[in-house]
Amino acid sequence: MAVVSPPRPEPVARPKVNVARGAGLVAGLALIGVAVIVSVAVGAKDLPIGVVWDALFHFDGSYDANLVWDQRIPRTLLGVLVGAALGTAGALMQAVTRNPLADPGLLGIESGASAAVVVAIAVFGVTSLTGYVWFALVGAAIASVVVYLLGSTGRGRANPVRLALAGTVVTAVLTGIISAFTTMNARTTQSMRFWTIGSLINRGYDVLFDVLPFLVAGAVISLLLTRSLNALALGDQVGRALGAHLGRTRLLSVIAIVLLCGGATAAAGPIGFVGLAIPHAVRAVVGPDYRWVVPYSMVSAPLLVLGADVLGRVVLPTGELEAGAVTAVIGAPVFIYLVRRKRLGEL
């Protein structure tokens, strides 16, 4: 008589862990609300919360009300969108390349956007931020396509190492082009000096609405890819064994990164280290599951960008320090710490 082995028990779900992670997302959204209030209230002229409340719900045409609606609100909303885009793009980039030190600049996206803006200023005489947006998006897209094609040609398919090397080459070439244009054209030098630092200063609703469709589309694609990113993170052989379409996942991830990082860079310039630091901090809290890493990065990164922007408004006795400069000061030690860690498996 054959002995029938008992069925294997189903994996036990961890509802308490999932509930805790969901509660963490809700807490992150609440913190964004607090950061938004602080961003609207704090600046060269600090506004009491009561004044902010009256300006929001009882607009009277006063100077403070116009300050809130015309400058603080669009600047703050753009900071939320840019932060969410950069954090999400960084999480996707590290998943696609399986490089724990990758950030959205690795595929040449920021360099492509910067080179396109240089061409727009030097060749076409574009001077408005709304004009920069479209050139930057196109430049980011072209650079990403070139990197992907270079990483896919020859024997074998695109893999993390080839994509990283192709991105490094394209970035080097574009950096040379940017340097040549800015050296030969004084107008380009002055305009690029304002744009390349990375700032939310003087960004209005026009810039916000120009990039909003691209950032929303990139965010939706990113959230839909989270399960596939888990398979991709296990390696090509394991991912294929699990039935994942790795090529399609990489391609859609690159499209999402272009939309997110290209739109964010076009609107605010290159704000560094957000896409590098935030996913690391998130993984330390929720683990390597990209079903949680991506939304947590999307919620956490705006806190860093808004915090840097607010800090930049008050740290100097006169004038403001750009958000990109503040994130560089914060992010550079984090990057050095990550590089100096002995085992990449700890990252």
The per-residue pLDDT for range 15-51, each reduced to its tens digit, is 677 888 899 999 999 999 999 999 999 988 888 888 8
**pLDDT tops 50 at residue 12:** no
Record the tokens describing residue 45, joined without a space.
């002229």
Nearest to 111 by CA among 45, 36, 175: 175
- The half-sphere exposure of 1 on its side-chain side, counting CA atoms within 13 A, is 1
Q: Are 218 and 259 in contact (CB under 8 A)?
A: yes
- Give pLDDT, residue 37: 94
How many other CB atoms are found less than 10 A from the CB of residue 28?
A: 18
Amino acid sitting at position 203: R
Q: How far is 39 from 3, CA to CA, in rounded Å?
A: 69
**Whole-prediction pTM value?**
0.85
Choose between 263 and 35: higher pLDDT: 35
The per-residue pLDDT for range 185-218, each reduced to its tens digit, is 766 676 666 667 788 988 889 889 989 999 999 9
